[in-house]
Homo-oligomer: A and B are copies of this chain.
Amino acid sequence: MNVATKILLVVLDGAADRPTVNRKTPLMAANLPFFDQLAREGIVGIMDVIAPGTPPGSDTAHLSLLGYSPKKVYTGRGPFEAAGVGIDVKPGDIAFRGNFATVKDGTVIDRRAGRINDTHRLAEAIREQVHLDCEFIFKESAGHRAALVLRGENLSPSITPTDPHHIGALLPSQPTTTGPSPQKTAKLVNDFTRQVRAILSDHPVNKKRSEAGELPANAILLRGAGVVPHLIPFEERTGLNAAVIAATALVIGIGKLTGMEYVPTTGATGHIDSNIDAKVKNVNRALKTHAFVLLNIKGADEAGHDGDFNTKAQFLTRVDAAMSELAIDESTLVVITADHTTPVSLREHSGDPVPFLIHGKGVRTDEINVFDEFFAALGGMNRIRGVDLVPVLTDLLGKGQKFGA
């Protein structure tokens, strides 16, 4: 073959940063011999995942990096979280992210119910005892997390969160409604919230927690309402059968909603303790059966949110070492990038462009030998938008969608 035939897209979640310690970024401070080698043999550039100066969410960023314009398809984070925790969502469903929380005297006193770990019995009670005027699906996820899906006619996603987002706030007795005729949905959310309060307050699990001095998980806070969008499957758009390897429900959900096969990895936690070696082994396996593999590695983003420069740099060093075990040759285009910048100085996503490199058959190379934010800005790819990445990659495979004749 004269062209590469497969694509591995590695998203180092939140890895990009601003110069901080000694005017270096964590990528600059990290030891990245493998990424540097890929940069030397390939081409680099910077990318506005959404648009210059727009901090992407992880959801909109991944949509963009997969070639879906988030401005056209994004309705909220709920649908992707719900798909990610294993709910078989359908276009038109209204989906929410949820937290198990602790409410006392109507006031939210802990948004994570003392970082509760096992909620499966509580979730079971909710599934069995809540009765709504529409079909609903509720599923617990890792830690305090959960997802709720409402399914039925004339439902609206124009629902403000019931999650007040800071402790000490009142649990809203009813979500504010926006947009046309969402009263029905607001009533459903209100019914759900009220019934859950009643069911969980008396639940044996919570009684036991209270006795042990732990905060009871006696409420569900909802946010990220969105109608499940119809996304044209990635394979239909690109001709590439795809797999997603990730630890976070959001990225798994985006993969599922775009028709990718989710390949679970034992030991992948989404935190800085994640078993990256296991993920790399999974990638090597998935590339034997799939033409496109999306690998998300979350830890650097977490360190960014924690404002922890050294942990971020050390984690990236560890990722580089693990990735050097990739069993790939020139026939696989490898892309290393981030979904957004999470500066340790901000502890939040920022709108700085992210660096990216493309390695493999057919790419025009450049003079850059290093993978970081600064040298990426001098690379042969110049500056592109996130939504252009997949067209660039499929075109390198000789599968570009010609416009004109």
Per-residue CB proximity of A53-64 to B under 8 Å, as 1/0? 111111111000
Write the nearest CB–CB distance from A163 to chain B, whole angstroms: 12
Q: Which residue of B lies closest to A345 (CB)?
A: B2
Also in contact, A77 and B392, with CB within 8 A (given A350-B400, A374-B364): no
Decide: A61 and B392 in contact? CB cutoff 8 A. Answer: no
Decide: B53 and A395 in contact? CB cutoff 8 A. Answer: yes
Docked complex: A356-371 residues within 8 A CB-CB of B: 362-367
A343 cross-chain contacts in B, Cβ below 8 A: 362
Q: How far is the CA of A351 from the CA of B395 in the complex (A)?
A: 6
Q: How far is the CA of A396 from the CA of B54 in the complex (A)?
A: 10
Q: Does A18 contact B (CB under 8 A)?
A: yes
Decide: B53 and A400 in contact? CB cutoff 8 A. Answer: yes
Also in contact, A398 and B350, with CB within 8 A (given A19-B365, A46-B382, A365-B23): yes
Q: How far is the CA of A74 from the CA of B403 in the complex (A)?
A: 10
Docked complex: A40-61 residues within 8 A CB-CB of B: 46, 50-61
Decide: B374 and A404 in contact? CB cutoff 8 A. Answer: no
Write the nearest CB–CB distance from A99 to chain B, whole angstroms: 13
A211-219, A285-293, A383-391 - interface stretch: A383-391
Q: Which residue of B lies closest to A16 (CB)?
A: B364
Give the number of times this chain occurs in the complex, counting copies.
Answer: 2
Q: Does A70 contact B (CB under 8 A)?
A: yes
Q: Does A29 contact B (CB under 8 A)?
A: no
A263 cross-chain contacts in B, Cβ below 8 A: none
Write the nearest CB–CB distance from A56 to chain B, whole angstroms: 6
Decide: A391 and B52 in contact? CB cutoff 8 A. Answer: yes
Decide: B3 and A392 in contact? CB cutoff 8 A. Answer: no
Q: Does A377 contact B (CB under 8 A)?
A: yes
Q: Does A380 contact B (CB under 8 A)?
A: yes
Q: How far is the CA of A394 from the CA of B403 in the complex (A)?
A: 26
A402 cross-chain contacts in B, Cβ below 8 A: 54-57, 349
Decide: B365 and A345 in contact? CB cutoff 8 A. Answer: no
A46 cross-chain contacts in B, Cβ below 8 A: 382
Q: Does A352 contact B (CB under 8 A)?
A: yes
Q: How far is the CA of A375 from the CA of B377 in the complex (A)?
A: 14
Q: How far is the CA of A54 from the CA of B389 in the complex (A)?
A: 11
Also in contact, A56 and B403, with CB within 8 A (given A364-B374, A366-B377, A377-B382): yes
Q: List 21 A-B contacts (CB under 8 A).
A: A2-B345, A19-B365, A50-B403, A51-B391, A52-B385, A53-B392, A53-B400, A54-B391, A54-B395, A56-B404, A58-B405, A60-B404, A74-B403, A349-B402, A350-B398, A350-B400, A352-B395, A366-B377, A366-B378, A382-B382, A383-B384
The 8 closest A-B pairs by CB, nearest first: A57-B404, A53-B391, A60-B404, A351-B395, A382-B383, A2-B345, A53-B392, A52-B388
